[in-house]
Each structure stands twice: as C-alpha cells, then as structure tokens.
Structure 1
Amino acid sequence: MRLRNNPKANEILENHKEFVVLNTKSHKGKWHEIFGDDHPIYIEIGMGKGDFIIENAKKYPDVNFIGIEKFPSVLVGAIKKIDDIGENLSNLRLMKEDALELTDVFDCHEVDRIYLNFSDPWPKKKHTKRRLTSETFLPIYKEILNISGELILKTDNRILFEYSLLSFQHYGLNFEDVCLDLHHSEGYEDNIQTEYERKFSPYGPIYRIVTTFKGE
C-alpha cells in the first residue's frame, strides 16, 4: 500500500519538541541525559503509528522508550495519539531516523533492548538485504546493544520468520525464546499488541523470537 504523504509532517514534528527528538545524532552517548535518569533504554525500529511503544511507556514507567520511524508522515500518527492521551509520558521519545544510521545516533552498548515489530518482509529475493533481520543490520544492533541486551522480533510473515531464524543463527546469536503462535501459547499474557497485530492476528499465527548477541 502506498504511503500517503502529509505535507505538514515535518512542521508537526517541529511543533512537538517536548517528545520528538530532531537532531538525533547530536545526542549520541547522552540519551540518559535526555530522559534525566539512568533507566534502561528500549527502542522500537519501525514503530508505525505508535500503539506498541506508547502502551509500553504507560505500563513501564521505569523504562525509557524510543520509537523510531523512517517516514515522518507515519510518525505524525503516533504524535496524534500522544496528544489525544493528554498525559505527560516523560519516559517516551520519538524520532525520524533510518535504521542504517543508528550507530551515529546511539553509542556503543547504549541501548538495552531492540524491538522489531511486523517489519516489512521485503519478499523479493533481490531485496533480502533490506530486511531488518538481515546481516546488513545485525552488526548495527550488536554495536548499540548492551552486552546482555535483547533483540526481539514479532511477525505474522512466515517467510520473514524463517529467514530471520537462519539469519540469526548464521550470525551466531543466542536464541532465548522462540514462539510459533504468540496469541495461543501460555506464558505470553503480558504481550502488548501493535495496531497491525490486532488487525491481522485472526488470520494466522504471530511468531516471536527473542535473541541476544554472544559475547566476545
């Protein structure tokens, strides 16, 4: 589906500097200063309209959350939701950034968890390097993640799920948990859904993988 452009998107980002970080690369190594505490930092890459990251920020006030989205027009949807909530989520920030640039945004081991929720599967073989679980991106995640930090994938796309299992294995990641049907398995009652997840989970299983990078 073609992304509808919002001509006022960048202006809207500028008008929400209380929780939208604009000059992202200038804060490398200083994200705890942005939040004013030393709480863990969890990021979601490709946050969409923000349901997941917003609900997490509300539920876990002792964790700092950063929602990352490449397209400003999509980011506007999350901004509207935060405005509608009408409460100060001091542990939540949003940014417009490309995942390829994240080592310029975060210092080595500055992030404690990375979420990849329903990422674009890029189904054509010639586009596999664009998948967020490909070896194009895994070195980036390894650099910014804490030594014991987690990389968590959720997807409804079986091809992406199977590809990710192989990609993670080839890169030498540890598999902490693999769930083949998230919504119909015990022990996942605290799962926070994305807007996409709520819409499409009735049509098939949701897959989830929790991994960590092996130490040197």
Structure 2
Amino acid sequence: MRLRNKPWAREMIENNPHIVEPNPQSYKGRWNDLFGNDFPLHVEVGTGKGRFVTKMGEKFPDRNMIGIEKFDSVIISGVERLIENPMKNVRLLKEDVSELTDFFANKEIDRLYINFTDPWPKNRHAKRRLTHEGFLQKYAEVLKNDGEIHFKTDNQGLFEYSIESMTRFGYKLKNVSLDLHQSDMEDNVMTEYEEKFSSRGMRIYRLEAYL
C-alpha cells in the first residue's frame, strides 16, 4: 500500500497528546491510571485509520481501547475521528507493534485485535506477519491468563498460516469462521477494509485464540 504523504500530520499528532499518548512507556503496567478506571484493556495492533478502535470505544464505553499504528499519514485519520467525537476510553499510540512489550506489562491486556493486517505473502517476509511466532510470543507476555486474540482478514493464505502458527505456538482456537458475514455472529464492528471487501462479496475470515 502506497502511503500519501501528509506533512501536516505530525504537528496535529503532537498537538493532541490527550489522543495520541506521547510517552507510552511511562504507563507500562498502569494504563488504568491514565483512563482513570478499572475497565478491561483492549488493544488493536495495526489500527490503521482508526475506524475499528473508535467504533469499539463508542459501542463499548466500559472498555478501555488503545489503537497502535506507526505511520503518521495513517493514524492521523484516527486522530481526526477523536477530535470530532472525543472519547475518554480511547487512546492511540504512534508506535511500532514490534515494541509492544515496551508499552505494556506482563499480563496487562485483556484482549488483542488484529484486523486486516498486511499478509506479507513472500516466504522471506514471514517474520513481518503479525501472527508470526515472534509476535505471538509478545502477545503471550502482555495478555492476561484468560486473554484472547481476535483476528480478522480477507486473505485466505494468511488465515491458514495464522491457524498453523497459532496452534503450533500453543494457542487454542474458537469461533473460527470461514465466512464471517454469513455467520450468526452478533456485535461485529467492521473496519474500513472489512466494509469495502464484504460489499464486494469477498469472504471475511475470523478466529479467536487463547492460551
């Protein structure tokens, strides 16, 4: 995906520290202090333009939602959403998912969402997939003992790879769907990509994983 440069984005991000936390390391192990409550902590890795994380925050005000995205020109859309519709239970981090354990303590997160991540189809790029064992190890560290990963994609190859990678690592799977929008799942919140792909009749694959 080619990113359109938005030179004004960084300044807007820096001017809204109540939306994009500038020092996430300082809240490691105490994110509930930032939110001022004891609600469950849910994190979306690779949050993109922020539609999912903001819709979830709106739909579930009793959950603390954090979206992580490393590109200024992408996360800025989420910033604009939260400027227009402020939510006390939603924060964004302009960080790299590979540094997840720098921002979250052991067993701190209740749920992780991985939505429509880059499939990195070439074998030599497998370590970049967000369901590669290197990332799964980080997720296992920060997830609570009863925590879950909720994963959605339109890419069948990535879905099959993820099932294999997760089960090999030791994750158990449940609520596996090979065609989400033909299932009976309730309360599904769509991302931008999901809305676009499903409107074209494309299958959406989904699973939940836990240790």
Q: Which residue of 1 aligns with 2:95?
A: 97
The unaligned stretches of length 5 or more in structure 1 are none
Cα offset for 1:83? 2.0
Contact 2:69–2:75 under 8 Å retained in 1: yes
Q: Which residue of 2 aligns with 1:67?
A: 67
State how far apart, in whole Å, the 2-side matches of 1:109 and 1:73 are: 31
Local SS of the residue matching 2:173: strand
2:113 corresponds to 1:118 = no
Q: Which residue of 2 aligns with 1:192?
A: 189
Q: CA-to-partner distance for each residue in 1:181-206, whole Å, 9 max, x for gaps?
A: 000111x1310000111011124210
State how far apart, in whole Å, the 2-side matches of 1:82 and 1:196 are: 19
State how far apart, in whole Å, the 2-side matches of 1:130 and 1:74 are: 19
Q: CA-to-partner distance for each residue in 1:62-89, whole Å, 9 max, x for gaps?
A: 100001101111010111122223xx31
Q: Which residue of 1 aligns with 2:132?
A: 134
Q: Superposition pairs for residues 1-150 of structure 1, below 5 Å? A: 1-85=1-85, 88-150=86-148
How many residues are treated as equivalent by the alignment? 210
What is the aligned-residue RMSD (CA, Å)?
0.9
State how far apart, in whole Å, the 1-side matches of 2:57 and 2:100 are: 21
Q: Which residue of 1 aligns with 2:204?
A: 206
Cα offset for 1:6? 1.6
Cα offset for 1:38? 0.7
TM-score scaled by structure 1? 0.95
Q: Which residue of 2 aligns with 1:166?
A: 164
State how far apart, in whole Å, the 1-side matches of 2:82 and 2:91 are: 11
Cα offset for 1:26? 1.6
State how far apart, in whole Å, the 2-side matches of 1:25 and 1:5 are: 27
Task: Tell me the percent identity.
Answer: 50
Cα offset for 1:47? 0.7
Contact 2:19–2:82 under 8 Å retained in 1: no
Cα offset for 1:116? 0.2
Letter in 1 for 2:119: P
Letter in 2 for 1:77: S
Letter in 2 for 1:93: R
Letter in 2 for 1:109: K
